[in-house]
Amino acid sequence: MAGSRMKLELSKVVQGRCRLGQLKEMGRMGQHCLDIPGCLLYTHLGTVPHLTQDTLHTLSSLPTVTQVTLSNIAEHQDVLEEFKGGFKKFAGLHDTVLYCSLHDSAAQSPTGHTTNKTVSVWGSGGRIELTVAKFMALQRTVQPDWYQTMADGETWQTGISRKRVRKSVDRSLAHLDECLLVHQKSQELDGVSVFGVVEGGDILEERLRSARETAKRPVAGFCLDGFQNGAMDQALRSQLITAVTKELPEDKPRLLQGVGRPDEVLACVEAGVDLFEGFFPFQVTERGCALCFLFDITPDPESAAADEEQHTAGETQPNGDLNCDDQTHMTRFEMDLKDKRYQDDFRPLVEGCGCYCCRNHQRAYVHHLLVTNELLAGVLLMIHNTSHYNSFFRAVREALANDKMDLLRRRVLGTVKEESG
């Protein structure tokens, strides 16, 4: 089986779907593990946006899995072929598991270029059309520890026909079979884990068919595609994911693509998702915002009081639309540091946060960097947002372990305040 190394150990399953555990024996040497529910480290070509190794490693407990996308890498195929050492070595990445996905969930690429035999990715130089042969040739040069197979996920636009959705399921299964065939013949990919992609748009029976068929193949895990922001609301998403995960074997991980908002993460964890991409902190950074939502559920009255104050700062934001489909739009989980109210605010971004930015800098300074368009703004915000987001995932695991998901959800959504106050 492709990717026999990666092992999922579940320590707890709540309500038959919501899972706590650990992915073990990842990487070619089998030396890495990742706690689930968890998120991956989002990168541009192996680099966490805005960060160098110095600034990245101010963060403690980074995700052990680094995600790169073929949309970034495909245009450098000839370079990597000449380099021969694989992408990790090329990008100066040591001591991480490399996961290679197809598209960048933070970048919306044009649609309408998918055919029966090809999908397209969009890099800095424009569109690159991939056949399975080219896709697999790329995987052989990238030499990831883990990759998703080629898939047709163009089902998220409104008004998409049932016929088109069915076609996307059929194509993705065909691509999967072809990828697996090449994979098994490629010595370079020995020991590399393969995730099959579950498609099916918003049609339940197509979702089920896709899940059942993909599960029959020798894959190490599953990518749930076509659920991204804008494709559907959370109620439908939860319903479909719950149905899909029921069809998937319990001992294999499920990675959800394109979903990153904290409230949606919680709902999807409850629907049976194990892994998320880490693009959300990047999107927040790009709009000059800092994550400030609460996730602390330890019953410490002192920190609860501090949280209260923190929360009020976040809640009075002008943009608090919870049902916003636009990914570039500010959410209620963040504060807009470009706002004038922060120009003389000498508090850290989040009181009590231990990230480099909060230990060393104040809101007023980050505000100044944003209004003057200074590059350091992106650096400091990316450090903080990545740190905050990772801590949120740690809180999710703690809440699951201690049966406190309800409390965590209310805390994250900001409704726990009335109880404590």
Longest dimension (CA), the chain: 63
Q: Are 38 and 393 in contact (CB under 8 A)?
A: yes
The two three-digit tokens of residue 321, written as one number:
């639309």
- Closer Cβ to another protein, 282 or 392, answer by number: 282
Of 103, 33, 74, the closest CA to residue 257 belongs to 103
Among 115, 360, 415, 420, binds another protein (CB under 8 A): 360
User: Which one of the spans 117-125, 137-145, 264-272, 409-417 is the region binding another protein (CB under 8 A)?
Assistant: 117-125
Among 13, 17, 75, 306, binds another protein (CB under 8 A): 75
β-pair partners for 14: 18
- Closer Cβ to another protein, 125 or 159, answer by number: 125
Q: Distance (Å, rounded) from C-alpha 97 to C-alpha 115?
A: 32
355 is in an annotated binding site: yes
Residue 82 as a binder of another protein (CB under 8 A): the answer is yes
Instruction: Kindly determine how many residues on this chain lie close enough to bind another protein according to the rule CB under 8 A.
Output: 45
100 is in an annotated binding site: no
- Closer Cβ to another protein, 12 or 84, answer by number: 84
Tell me the closest approach of the beta carbon of residue 71 to another protein, in angstroms.
10
Q: Are 120 and 134 in contact (CB under 8 A)?
A: no
Residue 54 as a binder of another protein (CB under 8 A): the answer is yes
**Cβ partners under 8 Å of residue 338, min gap 6:** 288, 367, 370, 371
**Cβ partners under 8 Å of residue 291, min gap 6:** 281, 284, 333, 334, 350, 384, 385, 388, 389, 392
Helices (H), 195-275: 204-216, 234-247, 262-270
Residue 95 as a binder of another protein (CB under 8 A): the answer is no
Residue 243 as a binder of another protein (CB under 8 A): the answer is no
Residue 44 as a binder of another protein (CB under 8 A): the answer is yes
Among 190, 344, 403, 406, binds another protein (CB under 8 A): 344
- Closer Cβ to another protein, 79 or 305, answer by number: 79
Of 389, 382, 399, 342, the closest CA to residue 365 belongs to 342
- Closer Cβ to another protein, 4 or 52, answer by number: 52
Q: Are 235 and 224 in contact (CB under 8 A)?
A: no
Tell me the closest approach of the beta carbon of residue 124 to another protein, in angstroms.
4
Tell me the closest approach of the beta carbon of residue 118 to another protein, in angstroms.
23
Tell me the closest approach of the beta carbon of residue 265 to another protein, in angstroms.
25
The two three-digit tokens of residue 233, written as one number:
């609301």
The pairing of beta strand 146-148 with beta strand 97-101: parallel
| Site map 369..388 versus another protein, x via CB under 8 A | x-xx-xxx-xxx--------
Q: Distance (Å, rounded) from C-alpha 371 to C-alpha 312?
A: 24
324 is in an annotated binding site: no
- Closer Cβ to another protein, 92 or 421, answer by number: 92
- Closer Cβ to another protein, 78 or 419, answer by number: 78
Residue 365 as a binder of another protein (CB under 8 A): the answer is yes
Torsion sign (Cα): 253, 409, 322, 61: negative
Helix (H) or strand (E) segment spanning residue 118: strand 118-123
Tell me the closest approach of the beta carbon of residue 89 to another protein, in angstroms.
10
Q: Residue 162: helix, strand or coil by DSSP?
A: helix
User: Which one of the spans 20-28, 328-336, 341-349, 395-403 is the region binding another protein (CB under 8 A)?
Assistant: 341-349
Tell me the closest approach of the beta carbon of residue 83 to another protein, in angstroms.
6
CA distances from 123 to 52, 89, 129, 282, 372 (A): 22, 21, 11, 18, 29
- Closer Cβ to another protein, 48 or 102, answer by number: 48
- Closer Cβ to another protein, 344 or 403, answer by number: 344
Q: What is the DSSP letter of 149?
A: P
Task: Please enumerate, by residue number, every residue annotated as part of a binding site.
Answer: 353, 355, 358, 384
Binding region for another protein (CB under 8 A): 44-45, 47-55, 58, 72, 75-76, 78-79, 82-83, 90-92, 123-125, 343-344, 346, 356, 360-362, 364-365, 367-369, 371-372, 374-376, 378-380
Specify binding-site residues for Zn(2+): 353, 355, 358, 384
